[in-house]
Amino acid sequence: MSDTAILTQALTKNYGRVQALRGVDLEVNQGEIFGFLGPNGAGKTTTIRCMLDLIRPNSGTLRLLGLNPQSDPVTVRAKVGYLPGELAFEGNVTVEGTLRYLASLRGNTMDWNFVRQLAERLELDLKPQFKNLSKGNKQKVGVVQALMHRPELLLLDEPTSGLDPLIQQEVLKLIREARTAGATVFFSSHILNEVEEMAERVAIIRKGVVVETAEVNSLMRRSVRRAHIHFEQAVEVNGLKNIQGVTILSRAATSINLQIEGGMDALIKSLAKYPVRDFETERPSLEEIFMAYYEEK
Amino acid sequence: MLTEFRNTLRRSRGAIIGWGLSLGALGYFMMGFYDTLVEQRSSLEQLLANYPPEFMAFFGSTEDMFSPAGYLSVEFFALMPVVLGIFAVTAGSSLITGDEEGGILDLVMSYPVNRSSLFFGRLLGFAVTLAAILGITWLAFIGGVAASEGMDIPPVELMRPFINLYAVIFLFGTASVLLSMLMPSRSIAAMLAGMLMVASYFIQSLSTINDDLKRIADFLPLKYYQSGYALEGLNGDWLVGLFGFGLLFAVLAWALFLRRDIRVSGEGNWRLPFRLSFGKK
């Protein structure tokens, strides 16, 4: 069995003259939680929908769990749990009816006690009709149906969208539990704190191209950070200007604000000759890194 | 396939009951008027003779409307392809694209269901829905015939025009499914299928009094619809032709569905190659 859960190479998809995907390359390992970042229209949903053979790419290679979704869509989908960006279903059917119908599409092979357990943990009432559900409750139905058959691969499009903070945490817990049980999780999100908290690796997609794939930690390490240094007395800090990767953003008589790209070692060594009273560094959030990709590239 | 078939039937139960009971009630009470009609034959013949032929063309042949077959034609079966056709084209256009436009298909197709099973499960559900509507109507007709003194039609013979009607509305339904695979939206497909159906009805009806229209009518399905006269015997070739084209449209729609990008929120729609603008620039 392949160690790669998701592989896309040079994946393209056009809608008429609009190029939704312009060569997406992704490699997601089995058992990892992988975040997929990008603003609306960047190609996140299109990529996920290609993976499920809901839409057909114009070119490129696509493999899920070692299988080609175009030639073997039923086997792929049997192993996958999918949460669409916006869940829709027939309005007159109850939540339980909806889940039972969806379960029947999987041959009724899942443990219904587990389904009830999931619903209880998400405080989802199974009795109301789908049309009477709030956006948050519809999202809960989506999460339950994606997890109920204990899939090998979870494709989640904005999994916590519309949920209150407590339920958001419960959903993230369920996702972690699925991963612990061996599932691979591929999720797109706008909530960057959530991605930072959940994902081991992320890919950033921009205008149909993946512009960065990296471990969250390394992405943050590699990125620009800021330092605020306070001195015991007024000092001349011209020496700091010559350190590679260091830019002086502002200075006052007894303090200085710097921007540092790369390692801090040279800066710290240079600071040894100054009477430093306080040294603060500010790690950028994933959101700032994400925004930087959109502003610079 | 079985799940989709059952689900389609479950969703159609309101239509089956509503259409079946309405048409059945209409048929049942219509039978009651047959005896009265026969009693007043001479005055009615005089009245009908005064109507313009363009008007009478829409009721089929009225020359023998005092026979059971003629009466059923004029009073019921002549109009039914359009009346029940409205249901068929609406349901046909929604069969796949209704759920697609509602975002439901996006979820359903992410499950381990192959496209052929989904398509044929739904198509079978649609075909059985039409049969159930006509079945209920047929049962009501049997009741109406039993209550009538002048009508003496065995149930099996009475089934013939229903089979004929079924073939025509199935054809309209599958044409609508096919159009829904070709057009940018479900509503455009339903509108176009409805327009073709009504145009076909007009041309076929008027072709009885206009020779130019006869040549066009040869290419229209209603030319091969026997209406109430199917009571006297079904034309096997015509029936096979109607079912054959119905199935052909279904197969073409299936082939298109296999290659189709499932849409969400208008994604992947084709557009007209020009911009329609009214008033404002």
The domain A4-220 is placed in CATH, from the list 3.30.70.20, 3.40.640.10, 3.40.50.920, 3.40.50.300, at: 3.40.50.300
Q: What is the pLDDT of residues B203-250, one digit of tens each?
A: 888 887 888 888 888 888 988 998 888 888 889 999 999 999 999 999
Q: Are strands A209-215 and A80-83 parallel, antiparallel or unpaired?
A: unpaired
Distance separating alpha carbons of residues A160 and A185, to the nearest angstrom: 14
Q: What is the pLDDT of residues A236-268, one digit of tens each?
A: 887 787 888 888 888 888 899 888 877 788 888
**Is A145 in CB contact (< 8 Å) with chain B?**
yes
DSSP state for residue B232 in the 8-state scheme: G
Residue B139 structure tokens: 């049962």
Position B74 pLDDT exceeds 90? no
Which of B5, B110, B115, B260 is most worth mutating to test chain A (most A CB atoms within 10 A of its CB)? B110
pLDDT, position A2:
61
Position B200 pLDDT exceeds 60? yes
Give the residue with greater pLDDT, B66 vs B271: B66
Among the partner residues B103, B106, B108, nearest to A105 by beta-carbon distance: B108
Mean per-residue pLDDT, B48-52: 76
**Is A56 in CB contact (< 8 Å) with chain B?**
yes
Place B268 in a pLDDT band, splitting at 50, 70 and 90. very low
Biggest CA pair distance of chain B: 68
pLDDT, position B145:
87
The mean-pLDDT minimum among A42-51, B241-250, B259-268 falls in: B259-268
Domain residue ranges of chain A, discontinuous segments joined by +: 4-220, 223-292
Mean per-residue pLDDT, A205-221: 83
pLDDT, position B281:
43
Place A290 in a pLDDT band, splitting at 50, 70 and 90. confident
pLDDT, position A35:
92
pLDDT, position B157:
92
Could you tell me if B40 and B65 are in contact, meaning their C-beta atoms sit under 8 angstroms apart?
no
Mean pLDDT of chain B: 86
Q: Model-level pTM? A: 0.82
Q: Do A101 and B3 touch (CB under 8 A)?
A: yes
pLDDT, position A198:
87
In this structure, how many other beta carbons lie within 10 angstroms of the beta carbon of residue A159? 26
Q: Do B104 and A88 touch (CB under 8 A)?
A: yes
Coil, strand or helix at B51: coil
- Domain A223-292 is classified in which CATH homologous superfamily? Alpha-L RNA-binding motif (3.30.70.1560)
Could you tell me if A280 and A227 are in contact, meaning their C-beta atoms sit under 8 angstroms apart?
yes
Position B280 pLDDT exceeds 50? no
**Is A74 in CB contact (< 8 Å) with chain B?**
yes
Q: What is the pLDDT of residues B161-195, one digit of tens each?
A: 999 999 999 999 999 999 999 998 888 999 999 99
